[in-house]
Chain A
Amino acid sequence: MRILARVAVCATFGMLVLATAARADTAAAPTSGPEATAAASAAAPAAADRTLAGDEACTRCHDENESKPILSIYKTRHGVKADARTPGCQSCHGASLAHQKNIGGSAGHRTPPDVTFGLKAKSDSQVQMQQCLTCHQGGKRAMWGGSAHEQQNIPCAGCHRIHVGADPVLRKGTQAEVCFDCHKTQRAQTHLISTHPLDAGRMACTDCHNPHGSTGPHNLVRNSVNETCYTCHAEKRGPFLWEHAPVTDECTNCHTPHGSTITPLLKVRVPYLCQACHSGDHAAAINSGANLAAGNATTVNGALPLGSISPRAQLVARACLNCHILIHGSNSPAGSKFQR
């Protein structure tokens, strides 16, 4: 632990030194191009006119005839001009003088605005992010820096659609489709026989994940996997008198949350899941097809009639959980074996 603390302190110090040394470099970095203009816009806010008059520089051309509904932004919170905080077109896209006058462009290829947004936009994703973070600091974005999506250079507009009246990623019924654009394994898992109600549209990815980064693993909304699960499954929170160690440790030791072929969202079928950790007493026994009602007849010497006419209870129905019924924890003084 002491070594760890030293490493952390040294690494922190090193980064700060590096960052300090880079200040001059950064300050001088963008001297031309859209980023430079954006940086200039940020440095000199007056250049960005956030009033309707300023917007008119854009909406003169980007009117109701646009194939994309640019003007729909006025239906959204970004369009309430009576709120002093509301941005204008140029607040986000930069003053974009070159775009307005088509300096450096041609009739067929107009010079783009200073800052354009989206996964495939010309503007650097860090520049895009910074435009949004100017206002959207803290809250759910508190851990954005260094988060998985930030590191992958996914800009805000990679998921959010700012100009539409209802951003699909903010609606429970349509959010998963946005996430599944990249998270394709999880998309397939939601079609398996045991799932959370994502495909039914009754749950959103953000019920568990904060895509902007979090203090928990896998961008979970809470500090840990269990804390996240307990937001809906509070009955499993306990603390119980008799805790089951892997449950307390992490729910995903046994469950896979996006979908499974084994109900309820199990990683491995019981009894084999239990036998991954237990080898004492009756957990030592083998469970094979020979232990099923119709599977016991074959021996090395041929047929053995009526050997075990009842399937092994640890193999069928709920298997081990037929008897160890409160596997998430028991509050009975007789519950150390999770049976009461």
Chain B
Amino acid sequence: MKRTTTILLGGLPAALAILCSVPAPADESNPSKEELTTQQNTAEVGAGGVSRGSYKFGEYNGLEDHGPFAIASFHLGGGGAYDSSDAARWHLSVTDLGTPARSADGDYGVQGRFRLSFKYDEIQHNVWDSYNSPYLGLGGNVLTLPSSWQVPLVPANNAAAANARGLSGAVTAANVLVGGTLRAPSAAQLAQAAAIQAADLPSFSAFDLFTTRNRYEIGANFLLAPKWELSASAKHETKTGTQAQSTVTQATGEVAATLPNPIDYRTDQVNVSFARRSSQDFVQFDYNGSIFHNDIPFLRWTEWADLTKTMTMSEAPGNQMHQLTATAGRTLWETTRIVAFGSWSRMTQDESYQYDAAQVPLVPVSSPQALVVDEAANLKISSRPLKTLSLDLAFKYDERRNETPVNIYGFYDNNSARSGTIMAPFAAALGVPAAQLGSNVNINENLPFSRKVTQVDADGQWHFIPGESLKLAYEYQQLNRWCDGNWYSCEDVYATKENIGTLEWRGNFSRVNGRLSYSYGDRTAGDYSEQAFLAYVPMANVVPTGATLSAYQYMLLTGLTGYGPVAGLPTTPLTGNAAVFFPNNNALANAEYQNQNRISELIGMLRYYEAPRKRSQAKGDVDLEVTQQVNLQGLVEYRDDDYYDTSYGLFRARDLSATLDANYSPTGNLAFSAFYSYEMNRSSSAGNSYTANSTATNVGTFTAISGGCYPTIVLRNASNKVDPCENWSTDMRAHTNVIGLTVDWKNLMHERVDLTAQVVVTRASTDINVLGGSYSNNPYAVAGAPAGTVAAYYIPAQPLPTIIANSVDARLGLKYRLSRNQALHLTYEYAQLSDADFGYQGYQLGGASAILPTGQFAPYYHVQVFGLSYVATF
């Protein structure tokens, strides 16, 4: 390819120089009337080459492979002449035939009577070409490991526990800390590691992950009478291939692996529309149907960390959506228009459950019988009562009502098999024998989330003097969220209400147009419930063994949330219900609501999409016509979301963007344009990595802590839940700079050549600063260590490495007219991407102990693309 590049780079300019020395053909002049008024056919054929294969460069454009590709597109059209009595017209277009991003469309119709159309669209989405996997059956939905596979270990560290880092020779050969002593691996440990690596590493093979989407569409449109129209269209879409899917296993320690998830989707969409339209009013009825079908119900795989187990993941279930809509509009007078809209939709999903029976002992129904009904209505009135005044009023209502039946399901976590026996009161409440369920079972209730939006918008715009106007807008939005059928209210906030006011000034002068606007919104959230998690866990409403109240009743009585008392270790041991539910003043004990994870949240954790918020937005833009040849445009936008009641979680988000555009057109044939865009997205969030209060006093007999808020282990452990040093905060700032330059030069060289050139340079970086820290036990603090050894260190947080994504994309297009109807088209593109992202550490050999390495790396490329084609117009 390097040689090809050299030939192209050297030869093409020479060829062009020769061609350009040829005088313009005699027929070069203004296009004829016939040319202007008759459908023109065009055909383009040629070839191109890609210097280097890159999945990321070819992510969507079909040019992921190194080597040549064909350029082939054509457009054919015909029908009656514009001035004839024949209203028939047709066209057929095909583009990018030589790549996997080809498309075609066509139609035939007699204008004023009917039109039939079709479309075909194909797109390949390249996901990864740096993926490797030891699994057999890649591309299918049952994946196994080769018989030679051995569970990876780091023998010097632990001869039994699966550890994906054991696949790295560098890791297994490194010294390890055992019992407070740094030791080199023994010969036997090295041999064991080498044997595992020799067995496993050859099993890894590269596998490209991509999907192909094919979309077929047909449409028909009939004008039944001058005002009546019937339209129908149907779309069939298939999506096949593989996507990267992380999976988690049942093995102890909950380890993960990215697997190729086979995709075999079919989506059929139908739209039928019946409308009556006149110059004053219209009414329209629509039916929209969408049926999604997934031919792969599950993904099942052998676990890399425990060959005795397989795991099943449920795939996206097939589902249907049917929607009826009615829209009507009427011009009441010349100045006022009213439009009303209503829709009713029904979404269903009833795919059979796919699961591993041993892991899911409580399944009351075999499918969810999921049903969502959506009802929406809109009413809009827009009026221009005076030439200088415009008024708009809109009312919107949209209710998504989830009517899926609520059931109770029981399952074991990924990293645990059944053990023990569930508490008798829980078994009784569930109506199952106590021996049926282990004490480590999760008992959860599905939450059918419903949502309703009610919104009113009122806008007024007054042109107070010619060229200037003021706009005043008010918006009220109320959002209700709820679940039907759960034992406890599932919503954090039932109703959020937001009032938004906007003031905007616009000026439209002879050479300058501009706009300034400011908007302020205040969202209130009523009483935020920190108890909504209870809806998941119905056993919180059952009195557990050893208590006299249920967890819910006890919290109701004491006013506590699932976080429990904001307190350290009690001075005297707790008794009764307090000892059952909040032992040592810790968070609500998982066992008391039969769930294996603590799902209560910190007090003050308000979820940002429903938390109280003050939003300020300012925007300004200007369009300045400096001269007839020079135009400047500027735009600045700023948004500040302040979640003022939030202590934990996202508490503030700010976005700033600014753009400057300059356009210079010295002649009608030459234009330069340049732009610079800057964007900053900043988000600030906070958390607390509290742990349970405990009575532990030492680490390996040692007691001193270096750093942190407490000098000794005993003092820290007594305050594990309320240690201020466990507070942390993050400040994430993403900066993007995009610069673009474009030159458009027409009719060069005896009006034979049109030239376009474009360069876009992107520089993006993300900095994540973290404040706070965490405690870490000193691995040297073991029995026998010297006196004065530190028991634990407080490790201050460190900023994350800057994430960088820089790209350059330069495109050159040159059109050389051989004659009025023939041209050569030369294209050249240089594209470069470099990306640095610490997240990829987790995919590498020797990376993370709990993640099977796949070798995926951050995308980068340097690609050149050439194309030369012949274009004929006829």
Point out residues on A near B: beta carbons under 8 Å: 1, 4, 7-8, 11-12, 15-16, 18-23, 25-27, 29-30, 52, 63-65, 67, 69, 71-72, 74-75, 77, 79-86, 124, 126, 133-135, 137-139, 142-143, 145-146, 150-151, 165, 173, 184-185, 187-189, 191-193, 197, 200-202, 215, 223-224, 227, 230-231, 234-243, 245-246, 248-250, 253, 261-262, 267-269, 272, 275-281, 283-290, 292-293, 295-296, 298-301, 304-311, 313, 315-319, 321-323, 325-326, 330-337, 339-340
Contact A307 B776, CB 8 Å, known A23-B334, A142-B284, A290-B796 = yes
Contact check, A299 vs B33: say whether CB atoms are below 8 A apart. no
**Is B50 in contact with chain A by the CB < 8 A criterion?**
no
How would you classify the secondary structure of chain A's contact residues: helix, strand, loop or mixed?
A: loop
**Is B594 in contact with chain A by the CB < 8 A criterion?**
no
* Alpha-carbon separation in the docked complex, A317 to B38 (Å): 57
* Alpha-carbon separation in the docked complex, A323 to B177 (Å): 29
* Alpha-carbon separation in the docked complex, A317 to B254 (Å): 15
What would be 7 A-B contacts, judged by CB atoms less than 8 Å apart?
Answer: A12-B379, A142-B341, A143-B339, A188-B736, A193-B833, A301-B793, A333-B353
Q: Of B132-140, B420-428, B686-694, B746-754, which stretch is located at the interface?
A: B686-694
Q: Mark B428-461, 1 if CB is under 8 A from A, else 0.
A: 0000000000000010101111010110101101
Contact A15 B381, CB 8 Å, known A306-B182, A317-B842, A340-B355 = yes
* Alpha-carbon separation in the docked complex, A39 to B637 (Å): 39
Contact check, B609 vs A246: say whether CB atoms are below 8 A apart. yes
Which residue of chain B has the shortest Cβ distance to A293 in the bound complex? B841
* Alpha-carbon separation in the docked complex, A30 to B111 (Å): 35
For A150, the chain B residues whose CB sits under 8 A away are 382
Contact check, A234 vs B774: say whether CB atoms are below 8 A apart. no
Contact check, B383 vs A15: say whether CB atoms are below 8 A apart. yes
Contact check, B607 vs A246: say whether CB atoms are below 8 A apart. yes
Contact check, A240 vs B395: say whether CB atoms are below 8 A apart. no
Contact check, B292 vs A326: say whether CB atoms are below 8 A apart. no
Contact check, B112 vs A83: say whether CB atoms are below 8 A apart. yes
**Is B39 in contact with chain A by the CB < 8 A criterion?**
yes
Contact of B327 among A138, A308, A316 (CB under 8 A): A138
Contact check, B677 vs A234: say whether CB atoms are below 8 A apart. no
Contact check, A306 vs B329: say whether CB atoms are below 8 A apart. no
**Is B589 in contact with chain A by the CB < 8 A criterion?**
no
* Alpha-carbon separation in the docked complex, A298 to B706 (Å): 12
| Closest Cβ–Cβ distance, residue B10 to chain A (whole Å) | 30
Q: Mark B623-648, 1 if CB is under 8 A from A, else 0.
A: 00000000001010100000000001
* Alpha-carbon separation in the docked complex, A275 to B729 (Å): 11
Contact check, B649 vs A331: say whether CB atoms are below 8 A apart. no
Q: Mark B522-559, 1 if CB is under 8 A from A, else 0.
A: 00000000000100100000000000000000000000
Contact check, B177 vs A306: say whether CB atoms are below 8 A apart. yes
Contact check, A223 vs B376: say whether CB atoms are below 8 A apart. yes
For A191, the chain B residues whose CB sits under 8 A away are 738, 760, 762, 807, 809
For B800, the chain A residues whose CB sits under 8 A away are 288-289, 292
**Is B162 in contact with chain A by the CB < 8 A criterion?**
no
Contact check, B689 vs A280: say whether CB atoms are below 8 A apart. no
* Alpha-carbon separation in the docked complex, A285 to B536 (Å): 23
Contact check, B609 vs A249: say whether CB atoms are below 8 A apart. yes
**Is B247 in contact with chain A by the CB < 8 A criterion?**
yes
Contact check, A336 vs B795: say whether CB atoms are below 8 A apart. no
Contact of B599 among A200, A249, A280, A300 (CB under 8 A): A280
- B683-740 residues with Cβ-Cβ distance < 8 A to A are 683, 685, 687-690, 706-707, 726, 728, 730, 732, 734, 736, 738
Q: Mark B825-863, 1 if CB is under 8 A from A, else 0.
A: 000000001010011111100011111000000010000
Contact check, B706 vs A301: say whether CB atoms are below 8 A apart. yes
Contact check, A145 vs B111: say whether CB atoms are below 8 A apart. no
Which residue of chain B has the shortest Cβ distance to A39 in the bound complex? B334
Contact check, A16 vs B381: say whether CB atoms are below 8 A apart. yes
Which residue of chain B has the shortest Cβ distance to A316 in the bound complex? B842
For A326, the chain B residues whose CB sits under 8 A away are 313-314
For B349, the chain A residues whose CB sits under 8 A away are 238-240, 331
Contact of A26 among B59, B335, B681, B706 (CB under 8 A): B335
Q: Of B141-149, B315-323, B576-584, which stretch is located at the interface?
A: B315-323
Q: Of B11-19, B191-199, B274-282, B566-574, which stretch is located at the interface?
A: B274-282
Q: Of B85-93, B200-208, B812-820, B864-872, which stretch is located at the interface?
A: B85-93
For B770, the chain A residues whose CB sits under 8 A away are 286-289
Contact check, A185 vs B599: say whether CB atoms are below 8 A apart. no
* Alpha-carbon separation in the docked complex, A239 to B402 (Å): 8
**Is B242 in contact with chain A by the CB < 8 A criterion?**
no
Contact check, A281 vs B599: say whether CB atoms are below 8 A apart. yes
